Chains A and B, each alone.
Chain A
Amino acid sequence: MIAAADAPARPRRRRFDLDRALNTLAAWALALLWILPLAFAIWTAIHPSAYEARFELLAPLTFENFEKAWGAAPFARYFLNTFMLVTLILAGQFLLCTLAAYAFARFAFPGRSILFTLVLLQLLVMPDILIVENYKTMRILGLVDTIPAIALPYIASGFGIFLLRQTFLTVPRELDEAARIEGATVLGILWRVYIPLAKPTYLAYGLVSVSHHWNNFLWPLIVTNSVDTRPVTVGLSIFSAIDSGIEWSVINAATLMTSGPLLIAFLLFQRQFVQSFMRAGIK
């Protein structure tokens, strides 16, 4: 696009290059600034704690911090909890949001616009804010300190319903009707026509949902209080909030371990990640 644009106007070329060099420089400077915390985390995690604040090129390498962190808290269990949590939330969200979005996109029924407004209201009044009441509800249900208690407030997501409805609206009516003529049921049409066409949306939404809930902190902090239910974020906060001061080397090793899977997944699927956002039309 840029190459095509500067072809006809030769004299502008030199100025354009300077502009471009400055932009590249700025982009890189910002990128280095942005990656600094991660770089620091890696630095401290692979060096002895004496080098937490001293950045010498030849500092000895060690794997000890990871061993220490792994041994100091039940991270394996926390991992499992987080994994179960995000799976439960994602499964619930896909199921409930798909059904609801389908209804909003393709059915005419009384109360549709009011109900849709109520759904959109959740974009604003998120469960994160209603911690006091939701905690009471969980106590009444006897669910405090369970993984479903962390998940339940999030499984009907206004954002998810909105997103899938927008995608379903773009599906040509003709496909829908063709399937109907073939005798497909309501759910059959959804399964055979709509869901396959909305795959990029599911991927994008799934990625947002997983990264959001993998990193969620406040509500799990409130509603869990044992090793068996605590997700990694809460485990990390407890692990780092000890009386005897902060050991950055060990905490950062733990940070890398706990966000490792997400980080690696992101590095591997970077392109798909960004593209699924674009194709999903989240813009």
Chain B
Amino acid sequence: MLKSMLMKAAATATLTTGLALGTWASAQAVELQFFFPVAVGGKAADTIQALTDEYVANNPGVKIDAVYSGSYQDTIAKVITASRGGTPPQLSMALSADMFTLIDEDLVVPFDDYLKSDEDKAWIEGFYPAFMENSQTGGKTYGIPFQRSTPVMYWNKEAFKEAGLDPETPPATWEELVEFGKKLTKKDANGNVTQWGVRIPSSGFPYWLFQGLTTQNDVILANSEGNKTNFDDPKVAEALQYLVDLSTKHGVMEPGIVEWGATPKAFFERQAAIMWTTTGNLTNVRDNAPFEFGVAMLPANKRRGAPTGGGNFYLFKGASEEQLTAAADFVKWITGPEQAAKWTIATGYVAPRPDAWETEAMKTYAAEFPPATVARDQLEFAVAELATYQNQRITTFFNDALAAAITGQKDAATALQEAQAQADAVLAEYR
């Protein structure tokens, strides 16, 4: 109590005595440690740092130490170890799909306790619902979306022209993807393929892009409680069979596991005329593609669909009430329209709230570079990224099943049934 009075006094003192004492006062202010991972290179880290500095300059009562914590994997490791060691951060960005893991490890507190007013509640309602699916469970909000993305389809307009296709019309359905893909697949005199029609990468985390196919086939992979998966649903097997058929039956995609990291390069080198990858690649493709390209939503089957991905803000246990209140306020500010617009323009991530798209900056950006709006428009059809308790293990079971089917080791249905059995064994204790 005394401490908080002192802090308030210090904050008031700062406001009254002005900038001269600013440095001294900030030492007395609420101090926050904020971990953030960055998945798309240097510019994103600079933007977060700049935004944090701007907030601190306008809020002398708060001091935020923004720590760039590497990859998402590093960040979660750091958060878990720091918490077990008794020094958790107060605020961190982590994968939205890790929500259940963080709850299971008993590390996070919901935002609801710090966003109580009706205005705050309305503010939470203001995020795209597709992003909130991964952020709420059991009626509580654990994550606030910020560094979020979704996969889209890029196509090479020149290759379309050469193949006698309309360069302005991307495939809109599964059938069209195969049909266009066949026309786009080129072979040399020896009968060796020199350009594939389609490229859907399947290395590392194949479940993510595959979730595009399952959603389009109208099936959800896990329930919203995170304790039951749906891997053995026949519709999932159907989607997997479609993916496998792209290479084995239709011959429009490179066989075997397709490397994620080499995908943009394969696109630039005209090795593939259509690629699926994250919106986080927009800037990269715009800068490096030596031909005209288009960006479209993923094609539809029973419906349109795509997963979301990326990171949310989380509040951590062990912090004081002042710290958590300050952290929640910072999160509210940084996801605000102007800030989110700056963030989206700098990185290519999808602004998490419709109001950011109404700002002047975003309108100009969207007008200059229309592909940027494709991801936003696709959000209407997007679903939560696969997330369960013990998320890493469950997704590994699933990834292994996908890899086994793609490489022809097992047939789709068997592989998925085995993954489901493994997942059930792990998740049983969470039901």
Contact = CB atoms under 8 A, between A and B. Distances in A.
A238 interface: yes
Contacts of B288: 49-50
Interface stretch (B165-173, B262-270, B361-369, B401-409): B262-270
A52 B277 CA distance: 21
Interface stretch (B52-60, B62-70, B314-322, B372-380): B62-70
B348 to A, nearest CB: 8
Nearest to A72: B42
A17 interface: no
A239 to B, nearest CB: 8
A139 interface: yes
A56 interface: no
A145 B35 CA distance: 14
A6 to B, nearest CB: 49
A139 B71 CA distance: 21
Contact of A245 (B67, B68, B263): B263
B103 to A, nearest CB: 22
Contacts of B104: none
B127 interface: no
A151 interface: no
Contact of B262 (A50, A71, A245): A245
Interface in A234-249: 238, 241-248
A235 B172 CA distance: 41
B278 A243 contact: yes
Contacts of B39: 242-243
A264 B71 CA distance: 31
B281 interface: yes
B264 A142 contact: no
A144 B264 CA distance: 37
A241 B71 contact: yes
Contact of B71 (A53, A72, A238): A238
Contact of A246 (B262, B280, B283, B290): B262
Residue among A142, A241, A243 having the largest count of chain B Cβ atoms under 10 Å: A243
Interface residues of A, number: 24
A238 B70 contact: yes
Contacts of A139: 81, 84-85
A242 B40 contact: yes
Residue among A49, A227, A238, A245 having the largest count of chain B Cβ atoms under 10 Å: A245
A142 B265 contact: no
Nearest to B267: A245
Given A49-B288, A225-B69, A238-B71, A245 B264 contact: yes
B281 A238 contact: no
Contacts of A53: 265, 269
Contacts of A52: 265
B78 interface: yes
Contacts of B278: 243-244
A25 to B, nearest CB: 30
A174 to B, nearest CB: 56
A73 B42 CA distance: 6
Contacts of B68: 226-227
A72 to B, nearest CB: 4
Contacts of B426: none
A241 B260 CA distance: 11
A243 B281 contact: yes
B284 interface: yes
Interface string B114-144: 0000000000000000000000000000000
B78 A246 contact: no
Nearest to A223: B81
Given A244-B41, A245-B260, A144 B74 contact: no
B261 A245 contact: yes
Contact of A242 (B41, B84, B85): B41
Contact of A243 (B75, B77, B265, B280): B280
Interface string A60-77: 000000000001110000
B144 to A, nearest CB: 21
Contacts of B263: 245
Given A71-B42, A225-B70, A245 B85 contact: no
Contacts of A238: 70-71, 74
A17 to B, nearest CB: 41
Interface in A38-61: 49-50, 52-53
A72 B43 CA distance: 8
Interface in B181-196: none
14 contacts: A52-B265, A71-B42, A72-B41, A139-B84, A139-B85, A225-B69, A225-B77, A226-B69, A230-B70, A238-B74, A242-B41, A243-B281, A244-B264, A246-B265
Given A50-B290, A242-B39, A248-B265, 19 more contacts: A53-B269, A144-B81, A145-B78, A225-B74, A226-B70, A230-B70, A238-B71, A243-B39, A244-B41, A244-B264, A244-B281, A244-B283, A244-B284, A245-B260, A245-B263, A245-B265, A245-B277, A246-B261, A246-B265
